Chain A
Amino acid sequence: MLKGAIEYAPSTFEERGAAVAFTTPLLSQTRVRRGERSKLEVLIPSLSQGMGIYVVAWKSVPEMVSMTMHDRYLHELIVREESCSPYEIRRATLKAARRGLAGPKAAQAARRALEEDEEQGTLTHYLLILSILKAVGLESPEMLKAGIDTDEGQRLTRQLMTRAAESLRMDATLLYARLADIAAVTAPVGLAHSPRPGRLTRGLNDLKGFRDGMMDWARDVPSDTAPVAEFCAEVAQHTIAIGEKVLGDFHRRIEAIGPLMRDWNDAFIRVRTQAARMAWLLDGWTHITGAWEVAQAEDRHQQAATVNDLFRILPLLPRQESSRDFVGDSKQVKVAHRRSVRMLEDWRTGQMDIDAIRRIEAVKARAP
């Protein structure tokens, strides 16, 4: 059950856990991980405005907290996922939202996100084929003209890819299999020259907007919350700096597609690791940047409450990922934060805070 509040400074992303877009206010963006003997655990930050993190056995959560119907459904889906990386958690979250359990707007947003994932997958696959053909000197204007979605275009593509496989001294089937593997890993990040940036690259751009927004807000609205906003901007900036390095490295490796195909075993693992690192880095930020966008339409009191809420769920970097001790630094900020934090009333009364749930669902409808 409840193991008690602990001071928490995780070493790795896996230890920090993946953020789950629950709609119950107390559970919103709590993190889930595989603990001892691979048992699922949920990490609930700053319960009742206290310091530290509560580690709760996954199966005990519905008994402890009055969960929304959406969250009970999502809870059961996550139990059935083999691992709990950001990818699996996102898949489960989109499925729950698609069912309508977070409201019609969130359902529509989830359907759109799934469609975009599919389109991005197809686009990445196509661009990677062009990269491979270019790498072996087989660029074909006829193929581009016919388009990959026509019978003629597909016939030409198959022909050229067979020649490309010969040039790379591998079986065409193997080339296609590797292409599929790279496309799956690359689509969420996106290729450097893609006409539409991948989901994670867009997330990194949104994070830059959030950082600027926090800095502007801290300057324009002097209050107890200004240092909290400044801290949010610093964490965002630190994450952006690491993210840009990872992204640059990832794109360089993907662009060298010839060597990647040839030195497959090592090179693919490196690419996959970089893509996963990118996903972990941005894990939890989608909700935060979305919540700040939603707060733009609100008054400054509400914005201050949002900044404090976001501070509580800020994805601080694990020790292995950053030289700076953000967990330690966050304690300096908490003094101001505790004075103005919004109460988590539902924890005390067991009543559903309909307005708080609605705010979370509004973010989900914007950033599923």
Chain B
Amino acid sequence: MTGRGADGQGGDDRLPGLESRLFDIPEDKFIEVVRLLERVRDHPEVRQTFAAIRPRLVQVRPNRRPTLKRVLCMPFEDVLESFGGVDVPLGRIERRVIDPVWRLVTECGDGALIDRLDRQVQETAPGNLNALRNIGRRLWPMAAQALRGAVEGAGEPDTGRQALWRSLLGDEEMRRQLLDVAAFLEIGLTIESLKDALAPKPLAALDDVHVDAIGQAAQAVARQSAGLVYHLLLVAASRMANPADLLAVLNDMDFGKARREQPVIFAQLSGLVVTNLEERSARLEDKDRGTGHGAGPGGGAAVAAFAPEEAVAIAERLVAGIDTTSAVMDVLADPLYRERLDAVKLSVRSMVSGAVLDTAPAGILTAVPAPAANGRPAPVDEDAQAAAEDHARALRRCEGLAGALGLHEPLKDALASMEKGLMARAQALLADYPQVAADPDDAETAEMNLFYALRLLELVAGPAKADRLRTAIMAATGEFAEE
């Protein structure tokens, strides 16, 4: 502590300024810096920097220097939990599992093989996926066996090797995930070729070619073990924008040797989809509570947890998931699922109401300034205008969600109230215009304010209604008056 204090650095900022700068520099420069940092990646400060810049690493995905640990994670990288955000992959593996997996594999696995493969990885160029998969082909089955052996032999007399496992005893969630990782590793090669067929991630829609690829991969895995098909499907679902879409095609798929298990797999996966939707909506509520939104009635003084556009985007993804799942669940006719999905919908509805509808007056109307009392126009605030436009767009995008979330009436009221409010504010500016028109600079400022109000009205009420205001503005300014 004192050491850190002496050089004036906090523990969160060991490479001062670098981490934040790494979010702003151009992509090619970012990749270059990542390459340089990778050469000294074992240094604790560099490791910390990597952890801090992970969101951008995920976004840019530069070809990182390959390591055997990274090759080990390839088959389950799609189901690894993301950093922050609301979306959670189906059947996710937590990142805290990676280190124990690696230690169990290196402690319980074939040491000579690991050393040999490690040397090969070090000689492999970044981005050489085929070479890495070739290494994985030998690593993954051995690692799967080592993991299973360690987890299943946990209760046996201490051989010295189980020291790690003993320290994890009692963590049932960890045990479940270690076994899941072993399953992903067992079918590592099939998963890797399926990833190629389901690229680029996330898939916006499942085409016939994707469905065929999933079907063929499922048959290949079923020949190995029927129980592993479920894990293959988790990877397939995690590569899709709306994982619930997979449910819709599942019943028509031929699972080959796992045909008899198909109903069970379907039920397992559907249950997981619903749980996943619940988990995502619970994260919404957590985030909402975290910012104090929803703590008081009306939410007027509270800050919404999500920006309006972000809220609508999250809601669109969740509603798409709910809709697909509902349609599929109708086949199962299970009222419990219906209730659980309705509860998810309610939570999404509350998030959208709080972040988009309730905040609209403060987010949109206040961007249009009131006429100033001093005879000068109010200055133009383009940041406020940009935020108000984003809010207005989010409000309009809610039209696509209103049916699913039962928001028709509140949305109609919000749009009507915004239209009325904007019109009133624009009329006030228009009435004030002749007083400021004499000075060219003031006239230009006043006109900008009017045009920005016109934009907001256009976004909220559409061009036909906005055009009346446009005509009134043009008449007031005389810009297009016939000479």
Contacts and interface: CB of A to CB of B under 8 A. Distances in A.
Max count, chain A CB within 10 A of own CB: residue among B452, B463, B480: B463
B386 A69 contact: no
A100 B200 contact: no
Interface string A339-368: 000000000000110100010000000000
Nearest to A302: B204
A354 B451 CA distance: 18
B53 interface: no
Interface stretch (A104-112, A182-190, A249-257): A104-112
Contacts of A358: 393
Nearest to A105: B386
A104 B470 contact: no
B433 to A, nearest CB: 15
A100 B473 CA distance: 14
Contacts of A66: 463-464
Contact of B480 (A67, A69, A76, A101): A76
Interface residues of A, number: 23
Interface stretch (B32-40, B132-140, B454-462): B454-462
B210 interface: no
A358 B397 CA distance: 13
Interface string B381-416: 011011001000100110000000000000000000
A285 B383 CA distance: 29
Contact of B454 (A101, A300, A352): A101
Given A99-B447, A99-B448, A104-B385, A69 B455 contact: yes
Contacts of B385: 100, 103-104
A100 B386 contact: no
A301 B386 contact: no
B448 A354 contact: no
A72 interface: yes
Interface string B428-455: 0000000000000000000110011011
A72 B447 contact: no
B382 to A, nearest CB: 4
A279 to B, nearest CB: 27
A299 interface: yes
B240 to A, nearest CB: 12
A55 B98 CA distance: 63
A301 B204 contact: yes
A301 B464 CA distance: 32
Interface in B351-387: 380, 382-383, 385-386
Interface in A296-352: 299-301, 351-352
Contacts of B212: none
A68 interface: yes
Nearest to B381: A104
B382 A104 contact: yes
Given A72-B467, A107-B382, A354-B393, A100 B451 contact: yes
B466 interface: yes
Interface in A44-80: 66-69, 72-73, 76, 80
Nearest to B454: A69
Contacts of B466: 69
Interface in A85-117: 99-101, 103-105, 107-108
A147 B354 CA distance: 60
A354 B396 contact: yes
Nearest to A100: B451
Contacts of A99: 447-448, 451
A100 B455 contact: yes
Given A104-B382, A354-B396, A67 B455 contact: no
A335 B389 CA distance: 38
A5 to B, nearest CB: 26
Given A69-B463, A104-B383, A105-B386, 10 more contacts: A66-B464, A69-B451, A69-B454, A69-B467, A72-B470, A80-B480, A100-B382, A100-B455, A103-B386, A104-B385
Interface of A: 66-69, 72-73, 76, 80, 99-101, 103-105, 107-108, 299-301, 351-352, 354, 358
Q: 9 smallest A-B Cβ distances: which pairs?
A: A104-B382, A100-B451, A104-B386, A104-B385, A300-B200, A76-B480, A301-B204, A69-B458, A99-B451
6 contacts: A69-B466, A73-B470, A103-B455, A104-B386, A301-B204, A354-B393
